[in-house]
Amino acid sequence: MTDAPAPRDIDGNPVRAGLPMAMLAELTHRCPLACPYCSNPLELTRVQAELTAAEWADTFRQAAELGVLQVHLSGGEPASRRDLAEIARAARDAGLYVNLITSGIGLTEARLRELDGVVDHIQLSLQGIDAEMADWISGYGGSFARKMQVAEWIGAIGFPLTLNAVVHRQNLDRLPEMIALAERLGCRRIEVATVQFHGWADLNRRPLMPTMAQAAQAREVVNAARARLRGRMVIDYVPADHHAVYPKSCMGGWGSTGLNIAPDGTVLPCHAAQTIAGLHFDNIRERGLARIWHHGDAFNAFRGTAWLPEPCQSCDRREVDFGGCRCQAMAMAGDARATDPVCSRSPFNARLRAEAEADAASDDTALVYRRMPKEKRT
């Protein structure tokens, strides 16, 4: 790596990378569900372009050498890959802590037993608290019943389980029941994440945008449940961005502790980074992971805080949230370098709040589903 020029951010300031701790491995974009807030990119990777199990195994070895401690096997739906167990085993053999993020659809008891002793932890998504809600939101009849069956097998085998509840205006009022379900299933953790309105979800802002009153109520429900469940179950809560005062520290800071690998091997600083025009993304098939992490243009572009614009540059939260989310700034302000528009100090914030309130007041319930084109592996 000595022949490479010193890494610089998008403004030419010198930057230095730390070590990544976590890697999201998007094994495929295929998915049987059709959620209206799907976070897959608008341009999907074709089956034929997906990394093979052997290529994933090599990537995991490189990740472990680079310092990555945990890998999240994700998608799409990772169970859509028939070689999921082989891939998971390769991650385990590389010495990584292996977390599987799944909708449960496509997992059988036999497939789960193959993952016993290989996968350390499972995160199961939850679209609703009953079949009527969950099947409507996921656009997949019978999904809730199958998911509950999978949860039962997970408990019987003994995997630690986190429930990932994605919340929005249509289901946020039923948050107490979601938390009760997580308790009944013996979960160690429930993650309550409000829909992020970029990518496909932006098409569903009117039916899904939570109201301000719902966001405030959710905070109270979470605080009360945290107090009641202390020592038994952890509740992670990601509130609605549009109703927050300050943005989240997305990815814990760009290029600081995490990286994503897309199904075709493109190495990304976050799952939505390809929405940012003008960045060049390397592929693991062409360059080593360490070199991409330390010297890749995309990883260095927004590293550190020297490139931050005002008002972030002189803000006391500069090292807390790093100006928020670059992809959100791109989607909402048309400029990835802008202060995240969900920040109350952003010049775009007033417009954003007005739009969010108008969306939340809509009585539109028609969902635009994300259906995957059917493909066959050749």
- Give CA–CA dist 43/270, Å, rounded: 16
Q: Which amino acid is at 33?
A: L
Q: Out of 315, 330, 331, 332, which residue is the one contacting ligand SF4 (CB under 6 A)?
A: 315
Q: ω before 311 within 30° of 0 (cis)?
A: yes
- Find which of ligand FES, ligand SF4, none residue 327 binds, CB within 5 to 8 Å per kind: ligand FES
Q: Is 35 annotated as a binding residue?
A: yes
CA count, 13 A, side-chain hemisphere, 333: 20
User: To the nearest whole angstrom, how small is the minimum distance from the Cβ of residue 300 to ligand FES?
Assistant: 14
Supply φ then ψ for residue 369, to 5 degrees.
Answer: -75, 155
- Find which of ligand SF4, ligand FES, none residue 270 binds, CB within 5 to 8 Å per kind: ligand FES
User: To the nearest whole angstrom, how small is the minimum distance from the Cβ of residue 338 to ligand SF4?
Assistant: 10
Supply φ then ψ for residue 266, to 5 degrees.
Answer: -70, 130
- Find which of ligand SF4, ligand FES, none residue 214 binds, CB within 5 to 8 Å per kind: none
- Find which of ligand FES, ligand SF4, none residue 38 binds, CB within 5 to 8 Å per kind: none
Query: Which residues are CB-contacts of 105 (< 8 A; sequence separation ≥ 6)?
Result: 32, 33, 77, 79, 140, 143, 146, 147
- Give CA–CA dist 30/53, Å, rounded: 16
Cβ(194)–Cβ(238) below 8 Å: yes
Please report the DSSP string for 151-167 in residue order: HHHHHHHT--EEEEEEE
Nearer to ligand SF4, 50 or 321 (CB): 321
Q: Out of 100, 268, 276, 343, which residue is the one contacting ligand SF4 (CB under 6 A)?
A: 343
Query: In the range 255-284, which residues lie near ligand SF4 by CB under 6 A?
Result: none
> Residue 265: exposed, middle, or buried by beta-carbon count in 10 A (0-12, 13-18, 19+)?
buried
User: To the nearest whole angstrom, how small is the minimum distance from the Cβ of residue 311 to ligand SF4?
Assistant: 4
Q: Is 312 annotated as a binding residue?
A: no
Cβ(45)–Cβ(281) below 8 Å: no
Q: Which amino acid is at 138?
A: S
- Find which of ligand FES, ligand SF4, none residue 315 binds, CB within 5 to 8 Å per kind: ligand SF4
> Interface residues with ligand FES (CB under 6 A)?
250-251, 270, 272-273, 325-327
Nearer to ligand FES, 72 or 92 (CB): 72
Read off the tokens for 160. 């630690």
Cβ(102)–Cβ(122) below 8 Å: yes
User: To the nearest whole angstrom, how small is the minimum distance from the Cβ of residue 336 to ligand SF4?
Assistant: 13
- Give CA–CA dist 315/345, Å, rounded: 10
Q: Is 250 annotated as a binding residue?
A: no
User: To the nearest whole angstrom, how small is the minimum distance from the Cβ of residue 325 to ligand FES?
Assistant: 3
CA 149, 155, 158, 159 torsion: positive or negative? Answer: positive
- Find which of ligand FES, ligand SF4, none residue 77 binds, CB within 5 to 8 Å per kind: none
User: To the nearest whole angstrom, how small is the minimum distance from the Cβ of residue 233 to ligand FES?
Assistant: 27
Q: Give the H or E element holding residue 122.
A: strand 121-126
Cβ(204)–Cβ(36) below 8 Å: yes
Supply φ then ψ for residue 20, to 5 degrees.
Answer: -75, 145
Q: Out of 97, 153, 159, 246, which residue is the one contacting ligand SF4 (CB under 6 A)?
A: 246
- Find which of ligand SF4, ligand FES, none residue 251 binds, CB within 5 to 8 Å per kind: ligand FES
Give yes or no for residue 222 binding ligand SF4 (CB under 6 A).
no
Nearer to ligand FES, 51 or 259 (CB): 259
Residue numbers at the binding site for ligand SF4 (CB under 6 A): 246-247, 311-312, 315, 317-318, 321, 323-324, 339-340, 343, 345
Query: Annotated binding site for [4Fe-4S] cluster, which residues?
Result: 31, 35, 38
Query: Annotated binding site, which residues?
Result: 31, 35, 38
